[in-house]
Amino acid sequence: MTRITLVRGDITRQTADAIVNAANSSLLGGGGVDGTIHRRGGPAILEDCRKLRAGHYGKGLPTGQAVATTAGELDASWVIHTVGPVHSKSEDRSDLLASCYRESLKRADELGARTVAFPAVSTGIYGWPMDDGARIAVTTVREADTAVEEVRFVLFDEQAYEAFAAQLP
């Protein structure tokens, strides 16, 4: 059974086996969580990302997928980069958002990570409504077949924390 926990705060201040990044397809950085992870984790993360781009991910990481790198100076062994969908009013992209959580947990299992910290993927710059993002995140993790012992959602503000708390018993 995977334990789901919630904390309010900055994901780059967490101690975990793996920290998930809400990245974009380029894997080369951006704003939000992504910017903070690269800033605090140092250049080793970007170096790994560039290698991925030079190799298997020449066209970038597709939406809904996940890939791991070093965590650099963060207090974790790995960063798992996943690309959330941009929210759309005309198209239901929920499956892609669920896929981010599922695929990240698969990478975590492959690495033997037991604690994984997630941000609320897509709910910032990519515009996903927080309540729905929280519902998809919690439901997907609950239904995942994974050996990860703790999934910790790290929520940046009170509104996000409350949205996730409302999904838990």
Per-residue mark of binding to ligand AR6, 92-131 (x: CB under 6 A):
---------------------------xxxxxxxx-----
Q: Does 11 bind ligand AR6 (CB under 6 A)?
A: yes
Q: CA–CA distance from 13 to each of 36, 50, 60, 76, 132 (Å)?
A: 10, 24, 27, 10, 26
Q: Which of 34, 48, 132, 157 is catalytic?
A: 34
Return the ∠ at Cα 11 (arms to 8 and 15), rounded to 5°: 100
Stretch that binds ligand AR6, among 41-49, 65-73, 144-152, 154-162 (CB under 6 A): 154-162
Q: How far is CA 17 from the centre of its chain?
A: 13
Q: Does 12 bind ligand AR6 (CB under 6 A)?
A: yes
Stretch that binds ligand AR6, among 25-33, 52-60, 61-69, 142-150 (CB under 6 A): 25-33
Q: Which two tokens stand for residue 143?
A: 């239904």
CA distance 156 to 29: 19
CA distance 43 to 41: 7
Q: Which residues bind ligand AR6 (CB under 6 A)?
A: 10-12, 22-24, 30-34, 36, 84, 119-126, 154, 156, 160
Cite the active site residues: 34
